[in-house]
């Protein structure tokens, strides 16, 4: 399983480019990659199609941002 960020970078796409392909804002892609939100089922299907993987191959592990103190 690979994260959305790993898949996006392997595909050579920017967050903006992926957002356009999926029909969301770049901020949405950013939040997916940070684990703040997960894609809706329809968005997940589109992501899988864009990356050429199955929906089960996409991991949603939460990314801990470096340099941030826990509240």
Global pTM reads 0.83
pLDDT digits (tens, 9 = 90+) for 11-64: 999 999 999 999 999 999 999 999 999 999 999 999 999 999 999 999 987 555
Considering the domain boundaries, does residue 61 fall inside one? no
Considering the domain boundaries, does residue 41 fall inside one? yes
d(CA 31, CA 39): 10
d(CA 70, CA 59): 23
Domain containing residue 48: CATH number: 1.10.260.40
Tally of domains within the chain:
1
Considering the domain boundaries, does residue 70 fall inside one? no
Domain that holds residue 9: 2-56
d(CA 65, CA 4): 16
Considering the domain boundaries, does residue 66 fall inside one? no
pLDDT digits (tens, 9 = 90+) for 31-46: 999 999 999 999 999 9
């Amino acid at each position: 399983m690979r994260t959305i960020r790993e898949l996006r970078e392997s595909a050579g796409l920017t967050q903006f480019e992926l957002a356009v392909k999926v029909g969301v804002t770049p901020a949405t892609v950013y939040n997916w990659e940070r684990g703040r939100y997960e894609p809706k089922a329809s968005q997940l299907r589109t992501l899988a199609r864009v990356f050429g993987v199955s929906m089960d191959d996409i991991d949603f592990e939460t990314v801990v941002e470096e340099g941030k103190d826990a509240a």
